[in-house]
């Protein structure tokens, strides 16, 4: 078990961050007290975790149709309709820049000056991960001119330019680090050893390269990276650092499940698309990812409605909720994801035998992490998900969507946009639930076809029917204050790697 970082680091994150996380502080000119990297790094991590493990998990879950909106509430009803306003993501966007990236910039500067290459690699890896998330969410984002107080209106860089930049940063940091280098205090691995950070950096490179591989020839780079065979052997996640207290619990748990703030409102429930795909396959992960409903069954809601027309037929306890605890990990990349990327690589550039081995390993890893059994039932004929190299994108797309649905919904939304699977079926949300029918017959889950998406009952007309939201609109916290902010490209415009 990874050691739990001292309470001091958490207290600094919660109560003292204003002293050194000030949005107006130039990361290239640290304060005179020169706060140590070991004090700054945990705060940068927790601000990243708060955004990635909460807001981005929630929106990813709704856009990937893992989640639906619960009966009688409307907090995320727009998400379930594939809508995102410029204001909804503003706090998260600002937090990633002002509380995560600015502090990582300070750490990198101090580590470089002291030639502490372990800490430099760790900060560079989290920086690259954060910029990857921003590109995958928004398409374009300030990069080359960002984080400088002197530049009040930084240019937005194209997504492919940001990807190229962070890949170069990772390569440069990996070239500097040695196995004997140490890493400052951190939550992610809870150790000063650099080995796991090197593996994480290489796994991130794998993701970045595979994510661009359909729009750019990166086979040579991938082959060299995969030949090194130095990827994480366990899931990379913020784990063993959460407590059941206000501000210290898993961010998604605290948002949706905790009673610290006197709120018992229920918003997020299972989506029929995800739930039926699990249950139709007899998937052993179902009970690991969701609690049963009030009747002990597994049921999912429908995107685009909150079932407000039939309170007697569909009370709040009718639909299942994600199984989440205060100490649940916030996953950054899993062994299952890595194996799916390798399966895709070998399906495209290698042999079917190699691809199938990694495909099965990906599903096995997901089951193992979930503490579930029956993985072979998913990938062994006559299962519809048995390996077939000619349909590798469909099989990987659907099974990656399933695996990520219980641990990392944001990445699932990214991958379904890239691989185009799960695809939209012919059944629509209006077919699944008749909003004009106030009886129990309004809900028709049996007509849903496993492994497909569907158009929400009420949906984003700017996007259109049969389409998943392709990007978030530029955050109001940036676009309204930045004269160089470009016009939004439209909800149906893919980010560069999904074109």
Question: Does the residue 447 lie in any domain?
Answer: no
Choose between 453 and 149: higher pLDDT.
Answer: 453
Question: Does the residue 415 lie in any domain?
Answer: yes
Q: pLDDT (tens digit, 9 = 90+) per residue, 367-413?
A: 999 999 999 999 999 999 999 999 999 999 999 999 999 999 999 99
Say if residue 2's pLDDT is above 80. Answer: no
Question: Does the residue 454 lie in any domain?
Answer: no
Query: Which domain does 209 fall in, by range?
Result: 7-245+327-426+465-498
Per-residue confidence (pLDDT) for residue 21, from 0 to 100: 31
Question: Does the residue 163 lie in any domain?
Answer: yes
Q: Which two tokens stand for residue 202?
A: 């290489």
Q: pLDDT (tens digit, 9 = 90+) per residue, 404-422?
A: 999 999 999 999 999 999 9
Per-residue confidence (pLDDT) for residue 310, from 0 to 100: 60
Percent of the chain beyond pLDDT 70?
Answer: 91
Per-residue confidence (pLDDT) for residue 27, from 0 to 100: 41
**Range of lowest pLDDT (36-40, 76-80, 315-319, 337-341):** 315-319
Question: Does the residue 49 lie in any domain?
Answer: yes
Q: pLDDT (tens digit, 9 = 90+) per residue, 253-269?
A: 999 988 776 656 689 99
Per-residue confidence (pLDDT) for residue 17, from 0 to 100: 33
Say if residue 175's pLDDT is above 70. Answer: yes
Question: Does the residue 294 lie in any domain?
Answer: no
Q: pLDDT (tens digit, 9 = 90+) per residue, 418-435?
A: 999 999 999 999 999 998
Distances (CA, A) of 409 to 120, 274, 400: 29, 12, 10
Angle of helix 159-176 relative to helix 117-138, nearest 10 degrees, comes to 170
Per-residue confidence (pLDDT) for residue 14, from 0 to 100: 39
C-alpha neighbours within 13 Å on the C-beta side of residue 184: 27
CATH of the domain at 137: 1.25.40.390
Question: Does the residue 128 lie in any domain?
Answer: yes
Total structural domains in the chain?
1
Per-residue confidence (pLDDT) for residue 34, from 0 to 100: 67
Choose between 161 and 438: higher pLDDT.
Answer: 161
Choose between 170 and 21: higher pLDDT.
Answer: 170
Q: pLDDT (tens digit, 9 = 90+) per residue, 73-122?
A: 889 999 999 999 999 999 999 999 999 999 999 999 999 999 999 999 99
What is the chain's mean pLDDT, rounded?
91
Q: pLDDT (tens digit, 9 = 90+) per residue, 19-68?
A: 323 333 344 444 434 689 999 999 999 999 999 999 999 999 999 999 99
Angle of helix 335-349 relative to helix 352-370, nearest 10 degrees, comes to 170
**3-state DSSP of the chain:** CCCCCCHHHHHHHHHCHHHHCCCCCCCCCCCCCCCCHHHHHHHHHHHHHHHHHHHHHHHHHHHCCCEEECCCCCCCHHHHCCCCCCCCCHHHHHHHHHHHHHHHHHHHHHHHHHCCHHHHHHHHHHHHHHHHHHHHHHCCEECCCCCCCCCCCCCEECHHHHHHHHHHHHHHHHHHCCCCCECCCCCCCCCCECHHHHHHHHHHHHHHHHHHCCCCCCHHHHHHHHHHCCCCCCCEEECCCCCCCCCCCCHHHHHHCCCCCCCCCCCEEEEHHHHHHHHHCCCCCHHHHECCCCCCCCCCECCCCCCCCCCCCCCHHHCCCECCCCCCCEEEECHHHHHHHHHHHHHHHCCHHHHHHHHHHHHHHHHHHHCCCCHHHHHCCCCCCCCCHHHHHHHHHHHHHHHHHCCCHHHHHHHHHHHCCCEECCCCHHHHECCCCCCHHHECHHHCCCCEECCCCCCCCCCCCCCCCCCCCCCHHHHCCCCCCCCCCCCCCCCHHHC
Cα Dmax for the chain: 69
The four Cα atoms 337, 343, 346, 351 give a dihedral, to 10 degrees, of 170
Per-residue confidence (pLDDT) for residue 28, from 0 to 100: 42
Question: Does the residue 296 lie in any domain?
Answer: no
């Amino acid at each position: 078990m990874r050691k739990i970082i001292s309470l001091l680091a958490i207290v600094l994150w919660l109560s003292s961050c204003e002293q050194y996380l000030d949005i107006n502080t130039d990361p290239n000119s640290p304060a005179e007290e020169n706060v140590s990297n070991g004090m700054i790094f945990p705060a940068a991590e927790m601000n990243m975790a708060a955004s990635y493990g909460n807001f981005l998990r929630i929106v990813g879950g709704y856009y990937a149709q893992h989640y639906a909106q619960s009966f009688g509430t409307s907090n995320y009803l727009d998400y379930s309709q594939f809508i995102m306003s410029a204001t909804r993501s503003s706090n998260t966007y600002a937090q990633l820049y002002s509380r995560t990236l600015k502090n990582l910039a300070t750490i990198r500067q101090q580590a470089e000056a002291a030639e502490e290459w372990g800490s430099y690699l760790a900060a560079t890896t989290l920086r690259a991960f954060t910029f990857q998330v921003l590109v995958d969410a928004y398409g374009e984002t300030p990069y080359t001119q960002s984080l400088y107080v002197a530049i009040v209106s930084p240019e937005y860089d194209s997504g492919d330019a940001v990807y190229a930049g962070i890949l170069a940063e990772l390569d440069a940091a990996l070239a500097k680090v040695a196995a004997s280098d140490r890493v400052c205090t951190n939550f992610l691995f809870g150790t000063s050893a650099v080995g796991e950070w090197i593996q994480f950096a290489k796994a991130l490179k794998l993701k970045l390269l595979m994510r661009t591989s359909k729009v750019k020839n990166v086979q040579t780079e991938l082959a060299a990276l995969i030949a090194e065979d130095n990827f994480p052997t366990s899931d990379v996640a913020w784990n063993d650092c959460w407590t059941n207290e206000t501000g210290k619990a898993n961010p998604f748990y605290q948002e949706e499940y905790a009673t610290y703030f006197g709120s018992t409102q229920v918003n997020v429930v299972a989506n029929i698309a995800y739930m039926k795909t699990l249950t139709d396959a007899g998937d052993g992960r179902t009970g690991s990812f969701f609690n049963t409903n009030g009747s002990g069954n597994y049921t999912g809601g429908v995107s685009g409605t909150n079932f407000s027309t039939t309170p007697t037929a569909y009370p709040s306890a009718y639909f299942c909720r994600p199984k989440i605890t205060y100490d649940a990990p916030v996953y950054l990349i899993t062994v299952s994801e890595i194996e799916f990327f390798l399966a895709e690589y070998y399906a495209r550039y290698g042999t079917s035998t190699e691809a199938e081995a990694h495909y099965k390993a990906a599903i096995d890893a997901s089951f193992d992490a979930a503490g579930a059994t029956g993985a072979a039932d998913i990938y062994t004929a006559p299962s519809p998900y048995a390996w077939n190299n000619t349909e590798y994108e469909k099989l990987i797309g659907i099974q990656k969507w399933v695996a990520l649905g219980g641990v990392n919904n944001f990445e699932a939304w990214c991958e379904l946009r890239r691989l185009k699977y799960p695809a939209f079926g012919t059944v629509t949300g209006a077919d699944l639930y008749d909003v004009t029918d106030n009886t129990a017959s309004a809900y028709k889950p049996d007509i849903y076809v496993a492994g497909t998406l569907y158009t929400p009952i009420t949906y984003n007309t700017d996007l259109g029917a049969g389409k998943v939201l392709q990007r978030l609109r530029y955050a109001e916290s940036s676009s309204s204050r930045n004269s160089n902010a470009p016009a939004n490209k439209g909800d149906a415009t893919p980010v560069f790697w999904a074109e």
